[in-house]
Amino acid sequence: MTKAPNPSGESAFNRSAARQLALFGVAIVVGLVGLMWGLNLLASLTATAGGVPPAVDVANNAITVMLTEEPPQLDSTRSTDQVSGIVLGHVMEGLLRYDDRGELAPGMAEAWRIDEGGATFHLRADARWSDGQPVTAHDFVFAWRLGLDPENASEYAFILYPIKNAEAINQGELPVTELGARALDARTLEVEFERPIAFFDKLTAFSTYFPVREDFYRATEGRFGADADQLLYNGPFALSNWVHGQSLRLDRNPHYWDQARIRLDRINVGYITSDPNTRLNLFKDEKIVMTGLTAENLTNALEQRWHIHRHMDGSVFYLDFNHREGRLTRNLNLRKAMILAQDPGELVYKVTKTPGYLPGESLFPRFLEGVQGKFRDEHPAPTYPMDLQAARAHLEAARRELGLEAFPPLVLLAGDNPVSNIQTEYFQAVFKKNLGLDIKIDRQIFKQRLAKMTSGDFDLVLAGWGPDYNDPLTYGDLYASWNLNNRGRYSNPEYDRQVRIAQGAMDAQTRVAAFAEMQRIIHEDVVIIPNYERGVAYVTHPRVKGILRRVVGADTDYTYAWIEP
Amino acid sequence: MAETAFTADDFRPAAVTESAQAVARPSLSYWQDAWIRLKANRRALFSLYLVIGLSLFTLVGPLIWTVDPSLQDLEQISQPPGADRDATVVAPHRPWDGAPELPLRSGLSLAASPTTQSVRLVWEPLPDAAGYRLYRNLFPAAGGQALGLPLFETFNLREPSAGEREGATPRKNQRRFEDRLDLKPRSYYYSVAALDAQGQMTGDVHRLELTVTRVITAQEAEAMGLVEDASLLNPGDRIKLRAHPLGTDYLGRDLLARLMAGARVSLFIGIAAPLLFIAFGVIYGAAAGFLGGWPDQALMRFSDFVVALPFLLFMILLRVASGVQPGESGITPMVLAMVLLSWPAAARLVRGQILQIREEGYISASRLLGGGAPYLVLRHMIPNTLGVILVTMTFAVPTAIFTEAFLSFIGMGVAPPTPSWGSMCNEGIKTMLTTPHELIFPALFISVTVLAFNLLGDGLRDALDARMRSAE
């Protein structure tokens, strides 16, 4: 009969359990809130201590920018990469420089004279280093000798080769003192040429030609350019702080000669990241003044109503054939078949879709100067419009010439990044569909790809070339038989002859005619399949004006920038 | 306490009934019993149906949906799911000489009807313009300078030098532009702004809103297999484009066909690799457990050594060492690497079971009756561990699928154009924000497959557990 449990007892237990649970719940909520508040406080404390200022800092007349990578080092005689080029372009200045319209302008030199045999530069009296000492002609001679010294092993030593004996010095055949550059006095620099050169003035704006002061260089004991205090600056800004892997700070150089043109007091490099989405978020949060756009985040940028700009960076991209003995791609008919079976317009407008890209037509990009106007206006590039019938006829001819039953698969070497992945898969499908050719994709990281390109372990390679100096020769000599960057080992005596003409002649007419000849040979011999000329779309902060993007020299130039009040 | 009254009836002997000793239900084998319990587990049953559905999707799907997974439909790149799109047939694209085909209006106007092939624009001069910049926008442009994406600029920073002919650079006076960049059938807002001598905008702007129509050339239609013969099509005809029920990827390839092709790779690796490594593990573990003593010690220490190898690192090393040639799919080395590295778990499990079973009474009985070692192992021991093996197998399948997906995701898996779910995710994640379906579908398939196999494994473990038999 007394089977029913005591109801009051059970409910009492329930009540105490519920109370305990509620207490625990409250404790957890309070604890979490406290923890979050504490963490937030800590975060704000560290942020104010070592934080990065906002994109536009009106009080300090400063802007904040980001870099995609950290410069490996800032020794101008040894630097090769684009990021170092950007930083060096702000803190250093050569004999000449490029102004806000992209024209050559006086830099350290206030007057100069160039003729067939050599050049003379007169340095300005108020050219000074960031420690107040004058920049002298000796500093240039020292820097150039350093750049050529085999012990320094500069990868860009070849750009100094127009100077007399430079190549022999770099090969270790002559002592550095034999270099054809002399300081007549502190303010006069005399240069002797190896052979006549038409564009030496443009070369002097390149970073390998920047000055280095001997006593300072010796005092750094091999650490030159490794830290902010291991460098001496003669440019508009000076590096005042360099936290490796994190940030750089560029402050106005009070000893720079042309104070009037510099309107910013400070440039903070607050972030170093290569991830496009991170950069876009930084820009969205007003942490940086400029960032590049990709096809994927373009809609987002339009929605946000940002100021979008466009810039052609001068790089050309193309499919390079392997012209070595024994390779199928040595056959002209096969190359013709392949170039006729594809359309760079389709690649650029429908596949990569990146704003700013232009369909490739020639090895020589559109920005290059001809005799009077642009080279490409004076000598329009001949192209192969897509023609599948002709392509298949050439393919059949190639098959017969090579004595093949069917074509074995061709290996397409490419880098491993989103744009080239899309491109390789597109070409794989295009050549399969239009020609029935099988393409095998060989994706490699940059170094590995370079090694394979050098050893010739490919049939086709996705390649690109950016300008070192503002002259068509920077592209034209690529396919000279002696150029080590001629990865496909293309060799044509007539082409070599034209390169020699362009190297030696002083007359613009002769040189441009030689470049036009090279363009014709590359077209007729189908040395490459041009893909596109690269452009970038980027957004800038609406209050920061005067940011320059350059084709040669520092890719991004903030020295003319200002903050709109 | 109520009083109970007994009657005489209560003390009568019970009638003998025949059925009392009859077996109420038919005798059940181990597997029948397990199947009944599995059927009662609705989660497991549902997962089983999912697994069957996936197998059908993989094996029968390509027979029904016969689209080539590597066919690129460049007219429909990154299209969201949907079908029933059509296009107008037009002539192939020709370079434009600048002659307008349509009557021009004032300001910015169209020179030809806007299509996905090209949009041809012509504009009238703006006052005091040293150059023009043309913008395209997806949204109506607000005030200020944010006009959209700059497509074209006639301003040339280089001033003509003294001796230069007027108009030596034809781009300077150009007041027309042909836009071909990634045109979709939708509305666009074009504006052309005047630039002053410094290249800054003067504030004068022509604007134009237009809607682009989808077009296709007859040759493209033939190449894509939409029509038999291109010459049968005339400009102006309307034809249906290929239907893509799950949309297309960044090269216009059909996502459904790619998911099927990817499933073949994923499920092949997901089933072949566990089958192989569990078979090896069972033999290895049975040998160790049955032999016992020092051979057992030696064998198990070696399996410990294999367990201690860092899995992913060795996976990648083996792949590299196996010398995969460029362009070859890395499926075989991947399976091989998984087999080489994953067998110890099964081996340990089976060895433990065998050690236990070895001491059971029926084994002694069998031995006393003259059963040899192979007979004991094959007839008594392994069948008794089958339940455990099957459960391990079902749990190993999702792990293997996941490993394959992961390796393909980081680019160590299959080579293009072979798709796999992992590599499809890798490609989809780049366009996650603009075209999420390219990521969502393969990710969904991975998740559902892995979940289905896990739940099925869970149900099987419950069903095959002999100790739960009495619960019925």
H-helix or E-strand spanning residue A411: strand A410-415
Count CB pairs under 8 A between chains A and B.
Answer: 117
Cis peptide before B92 (omega within 30 of 0): no
User: Rounded to the nearest 10 degrees, what angle do helices B255-291 and B382-409 cross at?
Assistant: 140
Q: Measured between CB atoms, which of A307, A308, A377 is closest to B169?
A: A377
Picking from A304, A349, A430 by the largest number of B CB atoms within 10 A of its own CB, the best residue to mutate is A349
B384 touches chain A (CB under 8 A): no
Contact between B206 and B128 (Cβ < 8 Å): no
Task: Please indicate whether, in this complex, the C-beta atoms of B430 and A296 are within 8 angstroms of each other.
Answer: yes
Task: Please indicate whether, in this complex, the C-beta atoms of B181 and A305 are within 8 angstroms of each other.
Answer: no
Chain B residues whose beta carbon lies within 8 Å of the beta carbon of residue A308: 146, 148-150
Residue with tokens 């439909």: B73
B1 touches chain A (CB under 8 A): no
Residue with tokens 């031995």: B367
What is the pLDDT tens value at each position of chain B, 472 positions in all?
Answer: 556 788 888 888 877 766 656 666 677 777 788 888 888 888 888 999 999 998 898 888 888 888 888 778 777 777 778 766 778 888 888 877 777 788 887 788 888 888 888 888 888 888 777 788 888 888 887 666 678 888 887 765 444 444 433 333 344 556 788 888 888 888 888 888 888 877 777 778 888 888 888 888 887 787 777 777 777 777 778 888 777 888 888 888 888 888 998 888 888 888 899 999 999 998 899 889 888 889 999 999 999 999 888 878 887 787 777 766 666 667 888 888 888 888 998 899 889 888 888 888 888 898 888 888 888 888 888 888 888 888 888 888 888 888 888 888 877 777 767 788 888 888 888 777 778 888 899 999 989 988 998 888 888 888 876 555 444 4
Task: Please indicate whether, in this complex, the C-beta atoms of A372 and B153 are within 8 angstroms of each other.
Answer: no
Task: Please indicate whether, in this complex, the C-beta atoms of A302 and B138 are within 8 angstroms of each other.
Answer: yes
Pick from A119-133, A217-231, B96-110: least confident: B96-110
Chain A residues whose beta carbon lies within 8 Å of the beta carbon of residue B72: 426, 429, 433
Residue in B closest to A410 by C-alpha: B327
- SS3 string, B163-199, reads CCCCCCCHHHHCCEEEECCCCCCCEEEEEEEEECCCC
Six-digit token pair at B465? 């557990």
Residue A43 has a CB neighbour count (10 Å cut-off) of 11
CA distance A234 to B215: 58
Picking from B70, B71, B74 by the largest number of A CB atoms within 10 A of its own CB, the best residue to mutate is B74
Strand partners, A56: A63
Residue in A closest to B158 by C-alpha: A101
Task: Please indicate whether, in this complex, the C-beta atoms of A443 and B148 are within 8 angstroms of each other.
Answer: no
Residue B103 has a CB neighbour count (10 Å cut-off) of 8
B74 touches chain A (CB under 8 A): yes
Give DSSP secondary structure letters for A181-238: EEEEETTEEEEEBSS--TTHHHHTTSGGGS---HHHHHHTTT-TTSSGGG----SSEE
With 90 as the cut, is the pLDDT of residue A516 above it?
A: yes
Contact between B427 and B255 (Cβ < 8 Å): no
Chain B residues whose beta carbon lies within 8 Å of the beta carbon of residue A350: 74, 77, 182
Report for A7-11, A530-534, B26-30: range of highest mean pLDDT? A530-534
How would residue A13 be classed by pLDDT, with cut points 50, 70 and 90? low
Task: Please indicate whether, in this complex, the C-beta atoms of A305 and B142 are within 8 angstroms of each other.
Answer: yes
CA distance A140 to A121: 11
Mean pLDDT calculated for residue range A16-38 = 91
Rounded to an integer, what is the distance from CA A258 to the centroid of its chain? 27
Task: Please indicate whether, in this complex, the C-beta atoms of A302 and B139 are within 8 angstroms of each other.
Answer: yes
Chain B residues whose beta carbon lies within 8 Å of the beta carbon of residue A376: none
* Amino acid identity, position A426: Y
CA distance B60 to chain A (A): 26
Q: What is the pLDDT of residues A295-337, one digit of tens each?
A: 777 888 888 888 888 888 888 999 999 999 888 899 999 999 9
Predicted TM-score (pTM) of the model is: 0.78
How would residue A47 be classed by pLDDT, with cut points 50, 70 and 90? low
Task: Please indicate whether, in this complex, the C-beta atoms of A537 and B150 are within 8 angstroms of each other.
Answer: yes
Residue A186 has a CB neighbour count (10 Å cut-off) of 14
How would residue A289 be classed by pLDDT, with cut points 50, 70 and 90? very high
B186 touches chain A (CB under 8 A): no
Chain B residues whose beta carbon lies within 8 Å of the beta carbon of residue A2: none
B145 touches chain A (CB under 8 A): yes
Residue ranges of alpha helices (H) inside B213-330 are: 218-223, 255-291, 293-308, 311-321
Residue in B closest to A373 by C-alpha: B169
CA distance B406 to B337: 14
Task: Please indicate whether, in this complex, the C-beta atoms of A306 and B72 are within 8 angstroms of each other.
Answer: no
B138 touches chain A (CB under 8 A): yes
Q: Measured between CB atoms, which of B164, B169, B251 is closest to A422?
A: B251
Q: Which 3 state secondary structure label does DSSP give B235?
A: coil
Q: Nearest Cα to B338, choosing from B308, B318, B320?
A: B318
Task: Please indicate whether, in this complex, the C-beta atoms of B146 and A306 are within 8 angstroms of each other.
Answer: yes
Residue B320 has a CB neighbour count (10 Å cut-off) of 12
Q: What pLDDT is stored for residue A524 in this prediction? A: 92
With 60 as the cut, is the pLDDT of residue A7 above it?
A: no
CA distance B15 to chain A (A): 35
Averaged pLDDT of chain A: 87
Chain B residues whose beta carbon lies within 8 Å of the beta carbon of residue A349: 180-183
* Predicted complex ipTM: 0.74
Task: Please indicate whether, in this complex, the C-beta atoms of B170 and A377 are within 8 angstroms of each other.
Answer: yes
* Amino acid identity, position B258: R
Task: Please indicate whether, in this complex, the C-beta atoms of B71 and A429 are within 8 angstroms of each other.
Answer: yes
B68 touches chain A (CB under 8 A): no
Q: What pLDDT is stored for residue B164 in this prediction? A: 39
Pick from A143-157, A164-178, A283-297, B159-173: least confident: B159-173
Chain A residues whose beta carbon lies within 8 Å of the beta carbon of residue B431: 296
Strand A237-243's sheet: what is its strand order?
A56-57, A62-67, A266-272, A247-252, A237-243
How would residue A48 be classed by pLDDT, with cut points 50, 70 and 90? very low
Q: What pLDDT is stored for residue A422 in this prediction? A: 85
CA distance A55 to A63: 5
Mean pLDDT calculated for residue range A469-473 = 87
B165 touches chain A (CB under 8 A): yes
Task: Please indicate whether, in this complex, the C-beta atoms of A373 and B161 are within 8 angstroms of each other.
Answer: no
Contact between A62 and A265 (Cβ < 8 Å): yes
Q: If phi over 0 gives left and psi between -120 and 50 gives alpha, with beta otherwise, what is residue A153?
A: left
Residue with tokens 């690269």: A534
Q: Measured between CB atoms, which of A374, A409, A542 is closest to B327?
A: A409
